[in-house]
Copies of this chain bind each other. A is one copy, B any other.
Amino acid sequence: VDQRAVRRANLGVVLEHVADSGPVSRATIAAGTGLNKTTVSSLVAELIEMRLLAETGDDERPGNVGRPAQTVRLSGNGVVSLGLEINIDYLATCATDLTGQVRHEHAVAVDNRNSQPGRVMGRLATLARRALADVEAQGLSLAGVTIAAPGLVDVASGTVVVAPDLGWRDVPLADLAAKRLAIRDVPLRVDNEANLGALAELWTGAGRGLSDFVYVSAEVGVGAGVVMGGQLYRGAFGFAGELGHLTVDPDGPRCTCGNRGCLAMLVGEDALLEIAGIEGPTEGSARLAATTLADRIRGGDTRTEDALRQIGEWLGLGLAGVVNVLNPEAIILGGYLGALVEWLEQPLTTALSERVLASNWAPCRILPSQIGEQAAVHGAAALPLREVISDPSSIRMHA
């Protein structure tokens, strides 16, 4: 039993080494992990059989003399995992393989405000089945499913505790999804969309190499994912990052949560469109709206430009508090904000420099998301694969 546990752990050690180092020879894996070459060869053979690793053929880098070493890399032809996203005005799916390649991706504009969870899940399930059929046709096996949802999510039970913009309370989303999708034997999880967006940026986006940052997700709703010391910080009860319902204007407009002057009311997509005088909800996604706005400003529309400055000032006021308390290296602007960073950066930088005591000594950078509006659904897809990489044997248990 002990030996099996050691072998299981070593499979993870080897797969993680390859994931971190790119194509490597067995000898390099042995040198890097401290395992002996015979063991490495046997582990690599098993990982190839599991379709998690693949031979790359002879290493043909120029300057390599002598007999070239046979190298292995992560396999894109074995497992895939599925990210699903429920947001206020769209549904999205994304399937990625172990190399990080997107193998299926789709998004549809749907108004989910004050919606029936069963109906929304029904629509999402249709999209999910299409994605699953597509990746199955590509010969890939499913390693896990994660659903990104706005609001407070209880990850342990897969419940959306409250999502004011959807009008949801205590929705057992994991249970609903399990029934609709008939997915068995692979992990099915629900997580907050901003947390998943932050993880995606940390793993493959603007957060790579950063230790402490706050990822801001802004579509209709506004949320945040807080990364500290290179780890997602979830808070004592799992509800950290609730940036959208931060009070920035105590006498401001009434919010869907019942309070007044929440940041989401002042910088969410609805506010942006209203200030800019655009009828909403727009057909298409928030990204489309952002593109429209950018085009207008470039065409000389000062009203839209002023609207964005106002958004930037409110957002800056809210973020200044967060930066004072957390002293992060960077704020990563996600959702529609990333596409408009050109006009938001200046009011945000001004707000932080005026309102953050440490700003002269520890300036906080404003970075646009590198993944864009898809960050949450990409993070949702990547999450199960991260687990496969650290514990490859886990996929056997559900196969």
A contacts, CB < 8 Å to B: 151-152, 154, 161-162, 164, 211-212, 224, 226, 228, 233-247, 250, 257-259, 317-318, 320-322, 324-329, 354-358, 360-362
Contacts and interface: CB of A to CB of B under 8 A. Distances in A.
A237 B355 contact: no
Contact of A328 (B164, B236, B245, B322): B236
Given A235-B362, A247-B317, 8 more contacts: A151-B357, A228-B228, A235-B326, A235-B328, A237-B329, A240-B326, A242-B358, A243-B324
B212 A246 contact: no
B235 A212 contact: yes
Nearest to A212: B236
Contacts of A362: 235-239
A325 B356 contact: no
A211 B233 CA distance: 13
A201 B152 CA distance: 30
Copies of the chain in the assembly: 2
29 contacts: A151-B357, A152-B357, A161-B358, A162-B360, A211-B236, A212-B236, A224-B325, A228-B228, A234-B327, A235-B326, A236-B329, A239-B358, A239-B362, A241-B325, A242-B325, A242-B327, A242-B357, A242-B358, A245-B324, A245-B357, A246-B320, A246-B324, A247-B317, A247-B320, A259-B354, A259-B355, A318-B321, A321-B322, A322-B325
Contacts of A246: 320-321, 324-325
A239 B323 CA distance: 10
A318 B322 CA distance: 11
B161 A361 contact: yes
Q: Which of A246, A329, A354 has the most CB of B within 10 A?
A: A246
A378 B212 CA distance: 29
B242 A324 contact: yes
Given A226-B325, A228-B228, A240-B325, A355 B245 contact: yes
A354 B246 CA distance: 11
Given A235-B326, A236-B212, A245 B356 contact: yes
A244 B317 CA distance: 15
A244 B329 CA distance: 20
A228 B239 CA distance: 14
A237 B357 contact: no
A152 B360 CA distance: 11
A239 B361 contact: yes
Given A212-B236, A235-B327, A327-B238, A321 B247 contact: yes
Nearest to A327: B235
Contacts of A360: 162
